[in-house]
Chains A and B, each alone.
Chain A
Amino acid sequence: MAVLTEAQTEFFEAKIARDEKIEPRDPMPDGYRAHLIRQISQHAHSEVIGMQPEGNWVTRASSLRAKLILLAKIQDECGHGLYLYSAAETLGISRDEMLAQLHAGKAKYSSIFNYPTLTWADIGAIGWLVDGAAIVNQVSLQRTSYGPYSRAMVRICKEESFHQRQGYEIMAQMMAGTRKQRAMAQDAMNRWWAPALMMFGPPDNDSPRSHDAFNWKIKRESNDTLRQRFIDKTVQQAEVIGLTIPDPDLKFNEATKHYEIGPLNWKEFYDVIKGNGPCNRQRMEHHMQVHEDGAWVREAAQKAALNGQKPA
């Protein structure tokens, strides 16, 4: 990429300063473009990899209604993956290149999907906690400075609020159920709470790329601000249905009107990012295997397209 001229730089910075969206044909610094490609492709990969832990329960859902909602939700996520790949493509990278980066381990996806969905209650916990955390982040990203990303977020947020209700409904139903079901719900809560909190990324004083992201208005609010918003909202929701937050240090601060949590295990967070989580290998192998198994279909579709039009 060429270095921006002075006039182009001025144009870009003035737009950012006026809170206007940067569009695909606008001049933009290489660093801005690279940051967005990394972030949007990671976001797309997360949507797609996230289909696996939830897909794990589609065939075993507890009712026809629960099955329909879960499958519709996973289908939404697949659609989100598609919009986001398309948004990233406006920056000059192809979906194939992004998939190659994922398979080579150069591109990441949200670490949360490296945890297993062991019981039906985990589907509740994912919808409620994981999608709940994702919404807080994505609502904030609706104001991000890159137009296609921002517009994708507006659409995605509309669907995500339904996802969170889907998860909360499962948890509420189980907490109103038998002793066994309540224990299963609490167990899922115990396993998903801390990983969900770590989805917002490391604490602000330890977040390596935040500086540029804030200046470029890609990121509008800090990790800790978003995490706190999620905690305040979720602690109350847990209380309503009788779930215990698995944190002995949790307390409400009367002065700040915020809940305060105990320390999180950031070593585990970094370990899982590096590949040492319970499902890292499984998720990637599944994705690569499916990609490989489908190659003959994609080749056939391309070849057939060259062979002319299908008769009506």
Chain B
Amino acid sequence: MESPLLQYLFRLGDDSLILGHRLSEWCSRAPMLEEDLALANMALDHIGRAKMLLEYAASFEAMGHSADDLAFGRDERHYYNLLITEVPNGDFAVTMVRMFIFSAFDVLRLEELSTSHDEMLAGIAQKGVKESRYHRRHAADWIWRLGKGTDESRRRVQRALHTIWPFTDEMFDMDDTERVLIEEGIGCDLHTLREIWKKDVSEVISNAGLTLPEDGYMHRGGRNGVHTEALGHIISEMNYGYELMLS
């Protein structure tokens, strides 16, 4: 079993790696060029963050692996991202709702991690929080526009909220790995963030004239490497180029 910090770096790194992958799938497919730029920007931020986290993990692991080996050399059961990051992009509304809901969470998590006793992690979080604040704002602006736009956009963004909501509970799950790190002043206590997150999300959604979904069945499992069917497709595509360069 990996050390708690290594496991934690995988979790954070995989969140960014998989979300960055999903965002990069929009390349040449956005509703307007300005949004193609923004989606690529957010993808670059997350893939860049994954690279830093996995480079740190690789140095920490000291097994001679590179960040690429860690990013692209694992099988389905050894990715530890939150399931919300792997949900298929769907339409623009699903992508933006996921981006808003995740980024609102990510900003809070990164603010906490900015003061982590682990200096490297704190440094990565300090850079990341600036990016994620922008992601949150950009996506929140879209929630508002889609909510206040046409009947069709309102219908789509409301439907997207229902698609994404069952993946929100998992964001706040904590296990022994995380509890050990909180005690050491390295990790972030997610329970304290939940109410702040809920307030932020509720406000943005209600300002847009939309309804917060009821809590129903909640998906979980990513932190233990148990994913949705979508992940296998992501990694069989994502790991292709890496495998090519090994052959």
Report which A residues bind B (CB closer than 8 A).
48, 51-52, 55, 57-68, 71-72, 74-75, 78-79, 81-82, 85, 120, 173, 177-178, 180-181, 286, 290, 293-305, 307-308, 310-311
Contacts and interface: CB of A to CB of B under 8 A. Distances in A.
Interface of B: 21, 24-25, 27-37, 40-41, 43-44, 47-48, 50-51, 54, 67-68, 71-72, 91-92, 141, 144-150, 152-153, 156, 207, 237-238, 240-242, 244-245, 247
A85 B24 CA distance: 24
B129 to A, nearest CB: 20
Which of A59, A64, A72 neighbours the largest number of chain B CB atoms within 10 Å of its CB? A64
Given A63-B241, A64-B50, A75 B37 contact: yes
A82 B47 contact: no
A72 B207 contact: no
Given A60-B240, A62-B245, A75-B44, A67 B31 contact: no
Nearest to B41: A75
Contact of A82 (B33, B144, B150, B245): B33
A301 B152 CA distance: 12
B67 A64 contact: yes
15 contacts: A51-B28, A55-B28, A60-B240, A68-B44, A72-B44, A75-B40, A78-B36, A181-B245, A293-B31, A296-B150, A301-B145, A304-B146, A307-B149, A310-B148, A311-B207
Contact of A300 (B21, B50, B71, B152): B152
B148 A303 contact: yes
B152 A64 contact: no
A52 B28 contact: yes
A286 B26 CA distance: 12
A118 to B, nearest CB: 13
A68 B44 CA distance: 6
Given A64-B68, A298-B31, A300-B145, 5 more contacts: A51-B36, A296-B156, A297-B146, A300-B149, A304-B145
A55 B29 CA distance: 10
Nearest to A73: B40
A78 B153 contact: no
Contact of A58 (B27, B37, B146): B27
B21 to A, nearest CB: 6
A74 B37 CA distance: 9
Contacts, number: 143
A81 B33 contact: yes
Contacts of A64: 47, 50-51, 54, 67-68, 71
Contacts of B25: 58-59
Contacts of B148: 303-304, 307-308, 310
B244 A55 contact: no
B153 A63 contact: no
Contacts of A298: 31-32
A68 B241 CA distance: 13
Contacts of A66: 241
Contact of A297 (B41, B68, B72, B153): B153
A85 to B, nearest CB: 8
A48 to B, nearest CB: 7
Contact of A74 (B27, B35, B71, B240): B27
Given A299-B153, A301-B149, A68 B27 contact: no
B244 A120 contact: yes
Given A79-B37, A304-B145, A310-B141, A294 B247 contact: no
Nearest to B209: A307
B51 A68 contact: yes
A58 B24 contact: yes
Given A63-B242, A290-B28, A303 B36 contact: no
Nearest to A49: B28
Contact of B27 (A63, A71, A181): A71
